[in-house]
Amino acid sequence: MPHSHAFRIIDSQHSDANTPIAADAATCPDCLLEISNPNNRRYRYPFTNCTHCGPRLSIIRQVPYDRCYTSMAEFVMCPHCQAEYEDPADRRFHAQANCCPDCGPKLWLEDHKGQTLDSDDPLNLAASLIRQGYIIAIKGLGGFQLACNATDADAVSKLRKRKHRYAKPFALMGRDVDIIACYTQLNATEIQALVVYFKTAYCSNH
């Protein structure tokens, strides 16, 4: 039988091997640029990812790490995503979680009764509800995050009561160091630590 010297990626075979799966990774700078570009087909698409970033461990159901063994299996890639997936020169080459607004998961918002709220922009609606004092449960990679307006004393008090967390601090989210400095007292060492953390989080995905 002749031997092939060409490099190929072939379909995996089911395995019972206990192979470690990579951890989920924060959105890389390249994907962030796509999300923020109005002319990009992934503009404001919250599930944008590539081989440098995105979900891994949180979507795997069994090894090997192939799309058919992940929670992305039900989403058939559109022609554009499939072309990226098959192109060795593309950073989404064999990115198992590859998707876009046309073929991937969609963003939606439900009320406390599980009823989907009618909205063309669930993200803006969620932000509006937070500003109104509501508490929002955000399903992210690997679990849920509870979010409210940290400057709304009633909302924070309600969240503390529901979580039975009357004294322990909650995590504070801020866009950047300048925003964080508006609500906290930061010394030079703390500012430097935050700056280094943000740079490390982004650069580690390249």
pLDDT digits 0-9 by tens, 30-43? 999 999 999 999 99
Shared domain check, 113 and 100: no
DSSP secondary structure, 100-148, as one string: -TTTS-----B-TTSPBP--S-HHHHHHHHHHTT--EEEEETTEEEEE-
Cis check for the bond before 64: say yes or no (omega within 30 of 0).
yes
Give the pLDDT of residue 79.
Answer: 98
Query: The whole model's pTM is what?
Result: 0.73
Mean pLDDT of 64-88: 94
Tell me what pLDDT residue 136 has.
96
Mean pLDDT of 111-136: 94
Is 187 exposed, middle or buried, given 0-12, 13-18 or 19+ CB atoms closer than 10 A? exposed
**129 is a domain residue:** yes
Specify whether the CB–CB gap between 47 and 99 falls below 8 A: yes
- Any idea what the Cα angle at residue 115 is, between residues 109 and 120, rounded to 5°? 40
Band of pLDDT at residue 3, cut at 50, 70 and 90: low
Question: Are 52 and 30 a contacting pair, CB within 8 Å?
Answer: yes
Q: What is the pLDDT of residue 43?
A: 96
Question: How many angstroms separate the CA atoms of 155 and 195, rounded?
Answer: 30
Q: How many domains is the chain partitioned into structurally?
A: 3
Give 15's pLDDT tier (boundaries 50, 70, 90): low
Q: Do the domain assignments include residue 8? A: no
Same structural domain, 85 and 145: no
**129-175 pLDDT, tens digit each:** 999 999 999 987 667 889 999 999 999 999 999 999 999 999 888 88
- CA distances for 14 relative to 17, 71, 74, 144, angstroms: 9, 16, 18, 31
Q: How far, CA to CA in Å, does 153 sit from each of 106, 133, 149, 150, 185? A: 32, 9, 8, 7, 19
Q: How far apart are CA 156 and CA 172, in angstroms?
A: 12
Residue tagged 């400095």 (tokens): 181
pLDDT cut 70: percent of the chain above it: 84
Residues 149 and 74 in one domain: no
User: Which of 105, 140, 161 finishes a domain?
Assistant: 105
CATH of the domain at 133: 3.90.870.40
Report the mean per-residue pLDDT for the chain: 87
Residue 200 has pLDDT above 50, yes or no: yes
For residue 184, give its domain range: 174-206
